[in-house]
């Protein structure tokens, strides 16, 4: 009997070891605010050789959708649950006071979701994260409580890329950094992409003796504002964008079609926020071109540091057993930041000769954002394809065909079930750890990765979307969409994304029954997901200013302002008394 038990134990051990040996390492690389065609393998001119190499070894997803801002996307990426059900129904900065704290509108992950890192850790993975987090800085929401063994994260929407303590806007009292749940001592000067990769390599080295596979999540700040990059990268692009954004938009559309990512005859709209390049002065053209040079350099620098990380995996013999997922959290940002100028004047320079450097603040603006999202319409914060369709690549899956393009509809909530399949971990269902949780919303992409002719989503499956009042519903090839002003008109429109990804031909008159049915589908989805109506006159841009005032400026400065007003009143009163005394009797 003892020999039988020993034999069974050895057999079980061998079986477990074989399963563990067959489970890949998993790396998730999250870019920030990259447009659909910013990557070379998606039609862009920016040098992204490392990401392009992953594309050649794997599959590009040309119809992949996220939320139109960072926190909602990252919440779905980590949980596989729609953001209205996981607690991040809106970005904190754009959330109206009427919504804050209501179910689905916490601005951070709730306790009814379990993260992919928790599921992987509980099933034998080492788990690490470095970079942007942005799904809650409460103690229960920090990575060390959400399944990560080691973590260095920036908890906010963004920060300066050269000085880690420098806020890019005054949304909070400071930049919130955490390492393993505690406030770290940050370097006084760094470069964000380089630092995050250095941290991740350090974490992997610390666990090098372990036989466990690892899960590595790197959340880059590139290309979130402020646009900043080393001078050597910026100078590579001098003169590249002198022809303007409309020419670049056309170039990228042609290249994306040549690569098989969009139909050859894809039409494009010229967005009303896109200025006429020819009407700009020579001085303005040079300044605008420099902005795009810095933007390209920031993406190029991120790709370079991805290459350093990949080189480490190759040097240590881990690359061949590693699956990579690359995506952007939303489309390019077109905001002009004019309302923030009084604050920026005291914090940054916007001199053309210093753009990209330490102490300089640069943006890309609406014109270049339209080119970054080419051939799509819209930008970050809105439900047009330019705001919610981003590049996604999966590479390194054993048995997958290389250099493939998948054109079917996919969604960010599909990533968690895909990673669980790769790790041979069962989906948790509606309970985990003895507690009720929201079940996963997406579908594993493993069938698609093995055969690009498969469908990730059934033709009759409705996928809803809402963020800050802009909304959409996907069903088969059709998309119902309603964008707030100024990008949209506040009305519903219907497009066939298979033939018209640029959203140029509204089909509501040609397909009235589908138009009506999809509106009913959206209503049912929004009710089941607890989507709240927005207050009258809501504007996401104005709401950022309101929230910045009430969440930061007023609490932080109210006593200082009251003290100053008190001093002024005292001075006025004293002056008035002196005047009365000086009057003749």
357-412 pLDDT per residue, tens? 999 999 999 999 999 999 999 999 999 999 999 999 999 999 998 999 999 999 99
Q: Distance between CA atoms of 30 and 392, rounded to whole angstroms? A: 10
Q: Which domain-ending residue is among 482, 507, 528?
A: 528
Query: Are the C-beta atoms of 39 and 332 separated by less than 8 Å?
Result: no
- Secondary structure percentages of the chain, helix, strand, coil, to 5: 40, 15, 45
Q: Distance between CA atoms of 40 and 255, rounded to whole angstroms? A: 9
Burial (CB count <10 Å: 0-12, 13-18, 19+), residue 552: middle
- Note whether 352 and 394 are same-domain residues: yes
Residues 6+ away with beta carbon under 8 Å from 341: none
CA 341 → CA 35, 222, 337, 350, 369, distances in Å?
Answer: 25, 22, 7, 10, 20
- Note whether 425 and 468 are same-domain residues: no
- The per-residue pLDDT for range 71-101, each reduced to its tens digit, is 999 999 999 999 999 999 999 989 999 999 9
Range 434-444 average pLDDT: 98
- Note whether 181 and 277 are same-domain residues: yes
- Note whether 471 and 354 are same-domain residues: no
Burial (CB count <10 Å: 0-12, 13-18, 19+), residue 139: exposed
Total of domains in the chain: 3
At residue 544, the pLDDT reads 82
- Note whether 358 and 397 are same-domain residues: yes
Instruction: Answer yes or no: is 141 within a domain.
Output: yes
Strand-pair category, 392-395 with 322-328: antiparallel
Residues 6+ away with beta carbon under 8 Å from 3: none
Query: Are the C-beta atoms of 328 and 391 separated by less than 8 Å?
Result: yes
Q: Cα angle vertex 557, ends 551, 561, to 5°?
A: 135
Three-state secondary structure call for residue 425: coil
Instruction: Answer yes or no: is 128 within a domain.
Output: yes
- Note whether 439 and 574 are same-domain residues: no
What is the separation of C-alpha 453 from the centre of its chain, rounded to a whole number of angstroms?
Answer: 28
- Note whether 276 and 423 are same-domain residues: yes
Strand-pair category, 322-328 with 25-31: parallel
At residue 16, the pLDDT reads 33
Higher model confidence: residue 36 or residue 565?
36
- Note whether 191 and 85 are same-domain residues: yes
CATH number at residue 482: 3.30.1120.10
Tokens 């020999």 sit at which residue? 3
At residue 553, the pLDDT reads 61
- Note whether 308 and 170 are same-domain residues: yes
CATH number at residue 401: 3.40.720.10
Burial (CB count <10 Å: 0-12, 13-18, 19+), residue 280: middle
pLDDT category of residue 167 using cuts at 50, 70 and 90: very high
- Note whether 95 and 26 are same-domain residues: yes
pLDDT category of residue 9 using cuts at 50, 70 and 90: very low
Instruction: Answer yes or no: is 467 within a domain.
Output: yes
- Note whether 371 and 497 are same-domain residues: no
Residue 105, beta-bridge partner list: 88
Provide the residue range defining the domain that includes 564: 541-585
CA 20 → CA 13, 321, 419, distances in Å?
Answer: 10, 12, 15
Instruction: Answer yes or no: is 457 within a domain.
Output: no
Averaged pLDDT score across all residues of the chain: 93
Instruction: Answer yes or no: is 153 within a domain.
Output: yes
Instruction: Answer yes or no: is 56 within a domain.
Output: yes
- The per-residue pLDDT for range 128-162, each reduced to its tens digit, is 999 999 999 999 999 999 999 999 999 999 999 99
At residue 14, the pLDDT reads 33
Instruction: Answer yes or no: is 533 within a domain.
Output: no
pLDDT category of residue 7 using cuts at 50, 70 and 90: very low
């Amino acid at each position: 009997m003892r020999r039988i038990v020993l034999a069974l134990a050895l057999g079980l051990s061998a079986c477990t070891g074989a399963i563990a040996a067959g489970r890949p390492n998993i790396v998730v690389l999250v870019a920030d605010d990259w447009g659909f065609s910013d990557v070379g393998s998606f039609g862009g001119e920016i040098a992204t050789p490392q990401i392009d190499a992953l594309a050649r070894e794997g599959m590009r997803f040309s119809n992949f959708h996220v939320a139109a801002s960072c926190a909602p996307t990252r919440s779905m990426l980590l949980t596989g649950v729609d953001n209205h059900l996981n607690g991040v129904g809106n970005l904190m900065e754009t959330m109206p006071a009427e919504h804050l704290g209501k179910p689905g509108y916490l601005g951070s992950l709730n306790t009814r979701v379990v993260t992919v890192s928790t599921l992987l850790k509980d099933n034998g993975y080492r788990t690490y994260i470095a970079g942007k987090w942005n799904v809650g800085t409460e103690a229960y929401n920090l990575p060390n409580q959400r399944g990560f063994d080691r973590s260095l994260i920036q908890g906010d929407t963004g920060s300066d890329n050269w000085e880690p303590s420098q806020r890019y806007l005054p949304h909070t009292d400071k930049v919130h950094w955490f390492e393993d749940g505690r406030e770290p001592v940050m370097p006084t000067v760094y470069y964000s992409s380089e630092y995050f990769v250095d941290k991740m390599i350090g974490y992997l080295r610390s666990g090098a003796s372990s036989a466990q596979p690892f899960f590595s999540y790197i959340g880059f700040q590139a290309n979130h504002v402020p646009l900043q990059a080393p001078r050597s990268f910026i100078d590579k692009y001098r003169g590249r964008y002198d022809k303007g954004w409309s020419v670049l938009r056309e170039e990228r559309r042609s290249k994306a079609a040549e690569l098989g990512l969009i139909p050859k005859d894809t039409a494009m709209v010229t967005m009303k926020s896109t200025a006429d390049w020819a009407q700009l002065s020579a001085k303005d053209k040079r300044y605008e071109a420099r902005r795009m040079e810095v933007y390209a350099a920031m993406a190029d620098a991120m790709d370079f540091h991805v290459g350093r990380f990949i080189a480490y995996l190759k040097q240590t013999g881990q690359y061949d057993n590693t699956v990579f997922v690359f995506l952007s959290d939303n489309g390019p940002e077109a905001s002009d930041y004019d309302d923030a100028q009084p604050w920026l004047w005291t914090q940054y320079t916007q001199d053309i000769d210093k753009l990209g450097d330490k102490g300089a603040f640069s943006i890309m603006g609406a014109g270049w954002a339209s080119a970054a999202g080419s051939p799509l319409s819209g930008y970050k914060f809105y439900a047009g394809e330019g705001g919610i369709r981003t590049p996604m690549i999966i590479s390194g899956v054993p048995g997958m065909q290389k250099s493939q393009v998948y054109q079917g509809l996919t969604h960010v909530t599909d990533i968690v079930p895909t990673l669980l399949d790769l790790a041979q971990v069962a989906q948790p269902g509606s309970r985990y750890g003895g507690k009720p949780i929201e079940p996963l919303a997406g579908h594993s992409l493993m069938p698609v990765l093995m055969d690009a002719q498969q469908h990730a989503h059934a033709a009759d499956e409705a996928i809803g979307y809402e963020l800050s009042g802009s909304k959409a519903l996907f069903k088969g090839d059709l998309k119902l969409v309603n964008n707030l002003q100024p990008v949209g008109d506040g009305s519903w429109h219907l497009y066939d994304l298979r033939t018209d990804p640029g959203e140029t031909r509204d089909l509501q008159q040609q397909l009235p029954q589908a138009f009506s049915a999809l509106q009913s589908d959206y209503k049912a989805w929004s009710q089941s997901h607890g989507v709240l109506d927005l207050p009258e006159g809501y504007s996401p841009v104005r709401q950022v200013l309101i929230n910045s005032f009430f969440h930061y400026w007023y609490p932080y400065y109210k006593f200082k302002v009251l003290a100053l007003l008190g001093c002024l009143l005292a001075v006025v009163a004293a002056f008035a008394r002196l005047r009365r005394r000086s009057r003749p009797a």
